[in-house]
Amino acid sequence: MTAWHIEMRGKHKRTRQSFQNFVTLPALRPAQLAVLQRWLKSHAQERAWQSLLDAAGMDALDRVDDLRDGLLAAGALAVKEEFKSGQWRVSRIVWRDLPAVQQAAGVTTAAQHAAQRDDLAAQWRALADEHPWLAAAAQAAAQGNATVQAQRLPLLLALLEWQQAQRTGLRQDFALAARGHTKGITASEWEWLDAHLSLENLGIGRFEPLLWLAGSLGLQKKSTETQSVQVLALQHMGFVGVPCRQWAAPWSVCQAPKRYWLVENRASFERQAAQLPAGVCLVWLPGRPSDAWLQAMRWLLSQAPAPAAISCDPDPAGIQIALTAGQLWVDAGLSWTPEKMSPDVWKDGITRALNDYDRRVLAQLQEAAHLPTALADLRDFMRDSGVKAEQEGWV
């Protein structure tokens, strides 16, 4: 071992360095290895000795000198010392080959971290490109740190598998499928999913899926045992939510509407429920409707056919949602029209800029066949102006 003096910032210092080629770590006890791994989480080539003492913690101070000297003898580090109070004291350490030490100690290197970040970024981009409905959630998650990204990517992949399998259930069911435990998804993860996806429409409900309606519609159910008839008249109840599974026999329609009006925004739905004209059945259209909702609505149309007006947010996703709901009327041989989605209604109000996901959806809509004229005009206006809006401001 050789020692020499160097001048640094006007202070007299010396550096002790082992010239043994670093091959492997010295034999370390588990407690020493744990301290070393805490030290190596930083990718700094040089560290103040005091910062390493702080990282080791009070419980480990009796073993850090032996750990340092063992690493020095193995050639893993060099030691800088400063002469204070009549003696040489260790002031800093320098890793001779930090990535090699990290690998030997089982700690991720800076290059490995960078490769993991690049790999995660590529996976997020691929997920958003291949499945645009996941793009907003993917873009938000990709802004988090590597740990958050690594935890949330499998969650979206589990959601994709759930959607492709057309599964339905409660949140606990999805958490069990995704994480193996009904409480396996954290509150912050649910908030992230709720902010960027309509979980209800993906068949993941807080509670049983409902079809919310108001206005001119009456249902009845005849009891085979008592021959009595139960009647549910919506116009007397403000608005109601009926479990989707109930929209089937033995219920039947006893008062049919002249027209349906589907409204996407929930606040708008509740506001319009209080001022409906006669003959209109108002239906809440919950974003991207779930299979259960579509099945319930399909049954209702079979029992009480009538044309529809559909009001969604004037944004690219809103066009897709309107088309999905409108297809029910097309399949039933009935007419439907977009309502209150024209740019003339909202362009002078509060608008928001289109994001990358919106532009991808618009590009897909350019290829859409049989797009109603009103929605084609809306698509083109958003493409040219670069803005969108939310219907709550005027519906």
Of 1, 62, 52, which is closest to residue 31 (Cα–Cα)?
Answer: 62
What tokens were used for 110? 């800076």
Give the N- to C-terminal CA distance of the chain in Å, as an integer.
Answer: 81
Residue 10's pLDDT is 37
124 with 98, same domain? no
282 with 167, same domain? no
Contact 135, 357 (CB under 8 A): yes
188 with 273, same domain? no
Q: What is the mean pLDDT of residues 210-239?
A: 82
129 with 19, same domain? no
Residue 253's pLDDT is 92
Cα dist from 212 to 116, 243, 251, whole Å: 45, 9, 16
259 with 292, same domain? yes
What tokens were used for 34? 């744990």
245 with 301, same domain? yes
CATH number where 97 lies: 1.10.10
Q: Decide which of 163, 185, 205 is a domain's last residue.
A: 205
221 with 197, same domain? no
178 with 265, same domain? no
Q: What is the mean pLDDT of residues 200-228?
A: 81
Question: What sign for the dihedral angle of Cα 139, 143, 145, 146?
Answer: positive
Neighbouring-strand partners of residue 14: 5, 81
Residue 159's pLDDT is 92
Characterise 356 by phi-psi region: left (phi > 0), alpha (psi -120 to 50), beta (else).
Answer: alpha
Number of domains present in the structure of the chain: 3
Q: Convert the pLDDT of each residue in 328-368 to its tens digit.
A: 999 999 999 999 999 999 998 899 999 888 898 899 898 87
Distance, CA of 301 to CA of 307 (rounded, Å): 9
255 with 348, same domain? yes
- Highest mean pLDDT among 49-63, 134-148, 160-174, 291-305 belongs to 291-305
User: Higher-confidence residue: 273 or 105?
Assistant: 273
pTM above 0.85, yes or no: no
Per-residue buried b or exposed e for 323-348, using 16+ beta carbons within 10 Å of the residue's own CB: bbbbebbeebeeebbbbbbebebbee
Residue 80's pLDDT is 86
122 with 201, same domain? yes
Range of the domain at 298: 210-393
215 with 357, same domain? yes
- Say which residues have a Cβ less than 8 Å from residue 300's Cβ, sequence separation at least 6: 211, 247, 253
366 with 244, same domain? yes
Q: Decide which of 189, 205, 221 is a domain's last residue.
A: 205
Q: Convert the pLDDT of each residue in 253-267 to its tens digit.
A: 999 999 999 999 889
Of 172, 239, 182, which is closest to residue 207 (Cα–Cα)?
Answer: 172
User: Higher-confidence residue: 133 or 305?
Assistant: 305
User: Higher-confidence residue: 338 or 33?
Assistant: 338
Q: Decide which of 205, 225, 258 is a domain's last residue.
A: 205
Residue 99's pLDDT is 87
Residue 11's pLDDT is 45
Tell me: cis bond preceding 250? Omega within 30 of 0 counts. yes
Q: Convert the pLDDT of each residue in 166-201 to its tens digit.
A: 777 889 889 999 999 989 999 999 999 998 998 877
Give the whole-number percent of the chain exceeding pLDDT 70.
92
